[in-house]
Amino acid sequence: MRYVSMIAAAAILVGCETVPNEAPAQSEIRYITTDAARAAGFPFSPAVEADGWVFLSGALGTVPGGGLAPGGIGPETRQTMDNIQATLESQGLGWDRVVKCSVFLADIAEWPAFNEIYKTYFDGNYPARSALGASGLALGARVEIECIAKR
């Protein structure tokens, strides 16, 4: 009580209003999954929405039925972007709602080939992005991308 009274007194001195000590409103969190994700049994959701922000897990260039898209970094990047697009569309979102992407490349020397495919998914307004070379990605992938979108 004494501490709260001191804060109230300080607020009065500087002309601030005090706010009752209340717990913050609970954020709405929605876990987004698919039948394929459940069947795979991985311990993560393909996406989670919290207060209108949609956080997509890292996506790989896997094709329906399993395995990575054959042909190297170009086809694998295209399949990765298509997989992200499918997750976005399942939530009524498009690439225009993506605000941040993180890119992980098995070989940073493949950066130019990756960029050639990546940029075709945007209309010239690109999300913020970071990228790094990794010493290994799941399933032996060449690329993994995670994104954040705003509803």
Residue 41 lies in a domain: yes
| Number of structural domains in the chain | 1
Residue 38 lies in a domain: yes
Under-70 pLDDT residues of the chain: 1-25
Residue 105 lies in a domain: yes
Helix (H, G, I), strand (E, B) or coil at 116: helix
Note every long-range contact of 44-53, with CB atoms under 8 Å and residues 24 or more positions apart, other chains counting: 46/87, 47/87, 47/91, 49/91, 49/151, 51/27, 52/150, 52/151, 53/148, 53/149, 53/150, 53/151
Residue 13 lies in a domain: no
At residue 37, the pLDDT reads 79
Residue 44 lies in a domain: yes
Distance from C-alpha of 121 to C-alpha of 67, rounded to nearest angstrom: 23
At residue 41, the pLDDT reads 83
Assigned token pair, 113:
């080939």
Residue 83 lies in a domain: yes
At residue 114, the pLDDT reads 98
pTM of the model as a whole: 0.81
At residue 21, the pLDDT reads 52
The domain in which residue 54 lies consists of 27-150
Residue 14 lies in a domain: no
The CATH number of whichever domain residue 55 belongs to comes to 3.30.1330.40
At residue 92, the pLDDT reads 96
Helix (H, G, I), strand (E, B) or coil at 76: helix
The most distant pair of C-alpha atoms in the chain lies apart, rounded to whole Å, by 69
Residue 73 lies in a domain: yes
